Amino acid sequence: MNFEKNENQHMIAQMVRDFAEKEILPYRNKWDNEEYFPVDTMKKMGELGLLGIYIPEEYGGSGFSYFEYATALMELGKVCGGVGLSVAAHNSLCTGHIYYHGSEEQKRKYLPKLASGEWIGAWGLTEPNTGSDAMRMKCTAVRDGDEWVINGAKNWITHGLSGDVAVVLIRTGELLDSNGITAFIIEKGTPGFSAVKIKDKFGVRASETAELIFENVRVPHANVIGEVGQGFKQAMQILDGGRISIAALSCGVARGAYEASVKYAKEREQFGQSIGKFQAIAFKLADMATEVEAAELLTFQAAYRKNNKLGMTKEGAFAKYFASEVAVKCGNEAVQIMGGYGYTKEYPAEKYLRDAKLMTIGEGTSEIQKVVISRELLK
Ligand code: COS
């Protein structure tokens, strides 16, 4: 594995930094306060190629690897975990599911729209009563000739309301049958398909989250992704890759919190000197820096394995588990270092902490990552 960033990674990092400084940073507090999902900003990121980063050019994507993808999310995470989460969910989940498991026809129909940002993508696995225990889902699809009739609900769905298309995992077989779940493509506006925005989130408030409701929604059989019954396994593979993106975003949030802490520790004086000169603060910074570097290495290791089609279930979980916990720790330490100021919205520390917390929950909690890792170890 090469520890140097490649030319494309440098180029993407610079591009995202420039974009974020102009188009995200000035508005991030407003979006956070108002829980506003900036669809226009998403579209602009689509024009820059950030919404189909690893999708091949023949389907309208940028044709990069997971190295460039992780790099872009690391840069976004430094500025806004909410916007970063939307980019990660759009790329890894909806777009990724169609790219990795869709038919040629489905890819040609949906990927160019998703990769360009013309359409925003959503992905639905979780339900009100099934989070970690995803297999126990109750939302059902029953075949009726050339169509499927879908009933039920999905919860905590990123872009559930603004998404133009959703990939949704739905039960088509017996409860707890791992071959009894199927992935469907469902377009916004399909009769019976509605969504309700989930409000008052703790963090990632610029990323839209919604509940999806299906009331006798009729979907053509042509919208089934892959084979009927293979949806759960497809979803697990999609989450393996998605977890790299959450790890990368966590690294960005952690590094943002760390860099803000260094800046503050140099500027803030107490007892006649900058607080960074006190070992109590300096050692916090040393711990943060060490752990951010380690999290980035784990993330790029998982990206390397993904790029090279090596198994990465365990490595993706290592990266997601470690990096998300590091992000929470760095956000927490940033608040502590900044003291009273860190506890206000005038400084970015509290937002880093709030955004970081989602990273230990979304796309599988830290506890689920330990389930995944330990199962792989004991295979
Ligand atoms: N890749 C491919 N197949 C996989 C897989 C993976 N990473 N993980 C599991 N599978 C397969 C298994 O091999 C098994 O196949 P068989 O039944 O043919 O043997 C099947 O899927 C069921 O797997 P398993 O028995 O491990 O399922 P469990 O119900 O025990 O659940 C966990 C496994 C807990 C790991 C899974 O439910 C999970 O990841 N939960 C968290 C969900 C999540 O991340 N939600 C966030 C939603 S996105 S915001």
Q: Can you tell me the distance from the alpha carbon of 337 to that of 332, in angstroms, rounded to the nearest whole number?
A: 9
> How many residues would you count in the chain?
379
**At 51, is the secondary structure helix, strand, or coil?**
coil
CA distance linking residue 122 with residue 109, whole number of Å: 16
- Please indicate whether residue 92, judged by its CB atom, sits closer than 6 Å to ligand 1: no
**pLDDT per residue as tens digits for the range 320-333:** 999 999 999 999 99
Residue numbers in the chain where pLDDT is lower than 70: none
Amino acid letter, 43:
K
The partner residues of 193 in beta bridges, in order of sequence, read: 214
Structure confidence by residue, pLDDT tens digits, 167-198: 999 999 999 999 999 999 999 999 999 999 99
> Which atom of ligand 1 is nearest the CA belonging to 232?
21
Q: Is 239 in the pocket of ligand 1 (CB under 6 A)?
A: yes
CA–CA distance, 319 with 302 (Å, rounded to integer): 7
Q: Which among 11, 20, 52, 351 has a CA at the least distance from the CA of 205? A: 351
Q: What number does the ligand 1 atom closest to the CA of 313 have?
A: 7
Q: How far apart are CA 333 and CA 325, in angstroms?
A: 12
Give yes or no on whether 7-120 and 122-231 have one common fold: no
- DSSP label at residue 85: H
Predicted local distance difference test score (pLDDT) of residue 77: 98
Residue type present at position 251: C
Helical ranges in 24-119 per DSSP H: 28-34, 39-47, 66-79, 81-89, 96-101, 104-116
CA 236 to ligand 1 centroid distance, Å: 5
What whole-number distance in Å separates Cα of residue 104 and Cα of residue 101? 9
Cα of 178 vs centre of ligand 1, distance in Å, is 8
Whether residue 371 has its Cβ less than 6 Å from ligand 1: yes
158 in Cβ contact with 212 (< 8 Å):
no
Rounded Cα–Cα distance for residues 91 and 245 (Å): 9
Question: Which residues, in sequence order, are CB contacts of 279 under 8 Å at separation 6+?
Answer: none
- Alpha carbon 172 to its chain's center: 27
| 237-377: CATH topology | Butyryl-CoA Dehydrogenase, subunit A; domain 3 (1.20.140)
Asked if 200 contacts 189 with a C-beta cutoff of 8 angstroms, the reply is: no
**What is the rounded CA–CA span in Å between residue 15 and residue 332?**
29
- State the fold for domain 7-120: Butyryl-Coa Dehydrogenase, subunit A; domain 1 (1.10.540)
The pLDDT score that the predictor gives to residue 107 is 98
Of the residues 68, 363, 367, 376, only one is catalytic, namely: 363
| 353 vs 17: CA distance, rounded Å | 21
Q: What angle do CA 278, 284, 287 make, to 5 degrees?
A: 135
Element (DSSP H or E) covering residue 363:
none
Q: Is the CB of 168 under 6 A from ligand 1?
A: no
- CB distance 369 to ligand 1 below 6 Å: no
Can you tell me the distance from the alpha carbon of 339 to that of 269, in angstroms, rounded to the nearest whole number?
12
58 an active-site residue?
Answer: no
User: What is the domain partition of the chain in residue ranges?
Assistant: 7-120, 122-231, 237-377
User: What's the pTM value of the predicted model, to 2 decimals?
Assistant: 0.98
CB of 232 closer than 6 angstroms to any ligand 1 atom: yes
Which DSSP letter does residue 90 get? I
Residue 94 amino acid letter: C
pLDDT recorded at residue 148: 98
Position in ligand 1 atom list of the atom nearest CA 156: 49
Geometric angle at alpha carbon 81, from 277 and 64, rounded to 5°: 110
Q: How far is the CA of 240 from the centre of ligand 1 (A)?
A: 10
* Residue whose C-alpha is closest to residue 323's, from 364, 366, 284, 281: 366
> How confident is the model at residue 186, as a pLDDT?
98
User: Tokens standing for 36?
Assistant: 């506003």
Top CATH class, 122-231:
mainly beta
d(CA 107, CA 304): 25
